[in-house]
Structure 1
Amino acid sequence: MTIIRFDELNRAKAEALIEEIKTSEAAAWAKSLPMDYDQLDLTIAPLEERVAQLDAEVKATKKVSPNPAKQARRKAKSYLHKTEHIRNKRDEYSAAQAVFAGRNSFSKTDHDATFMRVKEDPMMNGQLKPAYNLKIATSRQFVLGYQLFPNPTDTRTLIPFLETLSTRRVLGDYIIADAGYGSESNYRFIADYLPEQTPLIPYGTMLKENSRKWRSDDRKVMNWDYHDKDDYYIDPQGVWFNFQKYVARKDKTGFTRQFHRYLAEAIDENQQPIPAALTKGGRTRYIDVNPEWEFFKAQQRAKLTSKTEGKIYARRKIDVESVFGHLKAYLHFTRFTVRGNIPVKRQMGFMLMAMNLGKVAKRLFALSALNQIKRTKARNLRDFRVLVLF
């Protein structure tokens, strides 16, 4: 981040300035200055005392020209102003890093907003704008719940959003989302904590895996031959990859993935090296396979390619995307008019509530009109019967 880089430059500037003060000032107070970036007040206090001392000397030697005390005071004031500026910048960078809270940017006019790529891009140059990541849960185009997130990544918003929906008991039988939410951590959370719900969430490469280019790519492990009995892979070049060890990796969010590492057989039966088993640098090739991730991928492929659940997933665009289109096209709500997480959340809540009430009103009106038509038809039929009797 830019703030971290600027803070490091500011730290180097502080160390250079203190070293310069110690070199130019031969007095004992200068030699005892601490080289501590986090405690610049201990450097500013002696400088302030030095300036006050020189002020007294200048007043006592007003008629001396040129006045050495004035020259020394000018130099001491320069050191003091530079040190105070560095301290202020340090405090500014420290406060900015506290605002980040796991994000990589924030708006100066709204600290809760994060710079994101939005669809509204008049300049067509991928301009970043301060925004919030809105998540909504719908059923038949009615909004059941919503939540605003400061981070632009959809993958990391699903679990906290599902926790909120589960607490409010508005989760249905199916959890449907697009490929931006397909990750091992999300699949595992639903399987462990929401076993009654069925996820219909494709992963990022699901459509690509069905393409001819993907299936003909020899670099993809899924195109290799796997022998589950002895647990080894054979690549298209005939190189055997045998199981070697378990490998655990932890990402930035603290989620741990478990991998199986397979090492290539680099020597043949005649104790001769196999060139295809080595990298360009001469090291033995290996692959890491995540069985749990492969299990979840296969599970989603089976569900989304079935007729019943495939039709359910196909309604996602009609059910969810229509809500966003309604907000923008009919309510003309394209940006927030308030700042801060709480005011923004309230404004979003009012807009979604108004939209839900509008849909209810339309359905009640349609139901009333239908009942009126039925009553009219019944009355006409009754009058016709009476007319026939007479």
Structure 2
Amino acid sequence: MKRRPTAPVFKPYVMHQASLLPRSYDEVIEPEHLVRVVSAAIDKLDLRPLLAQYKGGGTSSYHPQMLLKVLVYAYSQKIYSSRKIAKALRENIHFMWLSGEQRPDFRTINDFRGSRMKGVIDEVFAEVLEYLLEAGKVKLETYFVDGTKIEADANKHKVVWAKRKNRYQQRVRTQIEELLKQIEAENEAEQAEYGEKDLEERGGGEGGSEIDSEKLRERIERLNQRLRERQQPKRDTQAKRKALKKLEGDCLPRLEKYEQQTETLAGRSSYAQSDPDASSMRMKEDRGAEKPWPKPAYNVQIGTEGQFITGFSVHNRVGDPPCLIPHLEQVRHNTGGRLPQRIVADAAYGSEENYAYLEQHGAENFLKYNTFYQDTHHYRKAEVLRAHQFRAEHFTYDQQTDTFVCPADKRLHFQYTSRYITENGYESTRQTYECFDCAGCLLKPQCTKSRGNRKIRISFRLLAYRRQARSNLTSPEGQRLRAARSTEVETVFGHIKHNMNFRRFHLRGLEKVKTEWGLVSIAHNLRKLAA
């Protein structure tokens, strides 16, 4: 006997069902959910610096504690757009619980992130760091530091380059000089006024400086005044007026534009037109590309301990070495004026200036330098070993005679001392030594490519710092820290770029970008804390 098929059974599904006692959002969120960790952590922070951004009176505002919770949780969920955050506040139950069902629009969220948080992100991050210290997650004893490039919110094809600007600026100055010569050649009064002197604008006056827009504007005004006062032939007046019109309508605006660009560059090699604080940098993600194109970006420096971010800073300098001291100064500000006991970094940071800073503040030196690997590894290839022995720091120094002895047993004698000043204002000295007996030396092709004698520039202070760093890094503690560094900072950068999908800033300007990276750092720390 065949059995009759059983009908499927479904749970009741009734839309628009009324409920006498609506459920609380608190009941449907897991006890250990990340949103609870974010809320509990920010509840314990001292937010008085943030509250001070609000003036008294007027229309009531959304509470900054709620907005900060929403922003940090949004960043932890890879939501960075203010419109998408506002959408989540309307649709996502975790955001609704976190905001107490308040629904600020995207303009309010963007204003809070870009204006209210700007200038206080360091204090908020310092409070999060204090929270991690109290929880025993970090001790601030060892500080692993490294940097990466994060793309700016700017058009990579609209960039002002310093070299190109300098070339165009010089071209305009040359054109101005020619027009002024043309005018002055027809003006007998100028010869009576200047005599054998050249025009001030061309460097022949008392100041001897290059022409600038202010001097040119004054010159144009004086020439226009003379044309109005003096009676000259019509043809002569028209020629001068034509030259003056070109100076005033074409050359002067261009000169002012280039001067403004020089001020914005502030010593940098480039800046983006849509975000003047961003500089063009080569991105790590573009390595291996057929035609890698530099992109407007920021140089982000972080320090970690236990893969928690314990310090951060944002720079528009391309290189890492000059960023370390400003970064550590920011760390001192966040930690009440003290540095971690040990600073560990890769070879990019091993400069004399950085070594001197660590010595000044009593931090242990675990910074690699650019030839650390060659100094501590034995090569099998004979040609590499030979090249290694011809480096200046491996020459034998005779202190009594103040000379260096090269591998050919020839002496290099002291010649002069040079002084250098870094971007941060640190002054260093280099002593130059030269060998006067290189002619006919069989080892010269391996020693130098110069046609003349071999010269070396030595900083004895830098050599001493490198010996100290090498001793620290090759000790058992140094070997452990070197092995840990690669898994500390690189893991954090990988988590932020890949897991949190943060590869590009969404705000413009150095201060706003710093605020956004501070939110990313706080979100990363709380994600790790919840895990």
Q: Which residue of 1 aligns with 2:507?
A: 338
Residue 120 of structure 1 aligns to a residue whose secondary structure is helix
Distance (Å, rounded) in 2 between the aligned partners of 1:113 and 1:46: 40
Offset at residue 2 of structure 1 (A) = 2.6
Offset at residue 324 of structure 1 (A) = 1.2
How does 1:221-232 map onto structure 2 within 5 Å?
221-227=392-398, 232=403
Larger Rg computed on CA atoms? 1
Q: Which residue of 1 aligns with 2:420?
A: 250
Distance (Å, rounded) in 2 between the aligned partners of 1:49 and 1:226: 70
Query: Structure 1 pair 283/80, CA: closer, same or farther in 2 (3 Å)?
Result: closer
Residue 99 of structure 1 aligns to a residue whose secondary structure is helix
Query: Structure 1 pair 299/108, CA: closer, same or farther in 2 (3 Å)?
Result: same
Q: Which residue of 1 aligns with 2:245?
A: 81
- Of 167-176 and 277-286, more deviation after overlay is shown by 277-286
Query: Structure 1 pair 16/354, CA: closer, same or farther in 2 (3 Å)?
Result: same
Residue 2 of structure 1 aligns to a residue whose secondary structure is helix
Q: Structure 2: where are the runs of 5+ without partners?
A: 1-162, 202-210
Match of 1:240 among 398, 404, 411: 411
TM-score with structure 2 setting the length:
0.56
Q: Does 1:130 align with 2:130?
A: no
Offset at residue 224 of structure 1 (A) = 3.8
Offset at residue 226 of structure 1 (A) = 4.4
Residue 166 of structure 1 aligns to a residue whose secondary structure is helix
Offset at residue 142 of structure 1 (A) = 1.1
Distance (Å, rounded) in 2 between the aligned partners of 1:282 and 1:318: 46
Deviations 1:264-318 (A, max 9, x none): 475xxxxxx9854999999765544322211111222222222222112211121
Query: Structure 1 pair 16/259, CA: closer, same or farther in 2 (3 Å)?
Result: closer
Residue 315 of structure 1 aligns to a residue whose secondary structure is helix
Offset at residue 171 of structure 1 (A) = 3.5
Distance (Å, rounded) in 2 between the aligned partners of 1:90 and 1:15: 13
AA aligned opposite 2:409: G
Q: Which residue of 1 aligns with 2:353?
A: 185
Deviations 1:86-126 (A, max 9, x none): 11111111111111222121111111111111123385323
How does 1:4-153 map onto structure 2 within 5 Å?
4-23=166-185, 25=186, 36=201, 37-38=211-212, 39-45=215-221, 75=239, 78-84=242-248, 85-121=250-286, 123-153=289-319
CA contact (8 A) 2:420 2:429 kept: no
Residue identity over aligned pairs, in percent, reads 28
Q: Which residue of 1 aligns with 2:369?
A: 203
Query: Structure 1 pair 258/74, CA: closer, same or farther in 2 (3 Å)?
Result: closer
TM-score with structure 1 setting the length:
0.75
AA aligned opposite 2:294: L
How does 1:215-364 map onto structure 2 within 5 Å?
215-217=385-387, 218-227=389-398, 232-241=403-412, 244=414, 247-253=417-423, 254-262=425-433, 264=435, 266=437, 275-276=440-441, 286-362=455-531
Query: Structure 1 pair 18/303, CA: closer, same or farther in 2 (3 Å)?
Result: same
Q: Structure 1: where are the runs of 5+ without partners?
A: 55-67, 267-272, 363-390
Distance (Å, rounded) in 1 between the aligned partners of 2:428 and 2:225: 58
Distance (Å, rounded) in 2 between the aligned partners of 1:22 and 1:258: 49
Distance (Å, rounded) in 2 between the aligned partners of 1:224 and 1:256: 25
AA aligned opposite 2:310: L
Residue 314 of structure 1 aligns to a residue whose secondary structure is helix
Distance (Å, rounded) in 1 between the aligned partners of 2:216 and 2:238: 20
CA contact (8 A) 1:225 1:234 kept: yes
Query: Structure 1 pair 304/80, CA: closer, same or farther in 2 (3 Å)?
Result: same
Distance (Å, rounded) in 2 between the aligned partners of 1:29 and 1:235: 64
Residue 238 of structure 1 aligns to a residue whose secondary structure is coil
Query: Structure 1 pair 166/31, CA: closer, same or farther in 2 (3 Å)?
Result: same
CA contact (8 A) 1:18 1:35 kept: no
Offset at residue 83 of structure 1 (A) = 0.5
CA contact (8 A) 1:249 1:257 kept: yes
Q: Which residue of 2 aligns with 1:381?
A: none
CA contact (8 A) 1:201 1:300 kept: yes
- Of 73-82 and 330-339, more deviation after overlay is shown by 73-82
CA contact (8 A) 1:200 1:300 kept: yes
Distance (Å, rounded) in 2 between the aligned partners of 1:309 and 1:284: 39
Offset at residue 47 of structure 1 (A) = 5.9
Deviations 1:136-184 (A, max 9, x none): 1111111112111111110101111111212222742211111111111
Distance (Å, rounded) in 2 between the aligned partners of 1:303 and 1:181: 15
Query: Structure 1 pair 328/19, CA: closer, same or farther in 2 (3 Å)?
Result: same
Query: Structure 1 pair 146/31, CA: closer, same or farther in 2 (3 Å)?
Result: farther
Distance (Å, rounded) in 2 between the aligned partners of 1:327 and 1:178: 20
Q: Does 1:168 align with 2:334?
A: yes
CA contact (8 A) 1:15 1:35 kept: no
Distance (Å, rounded) in 2 between the aligned partners of 1:336 and 1:52: 56
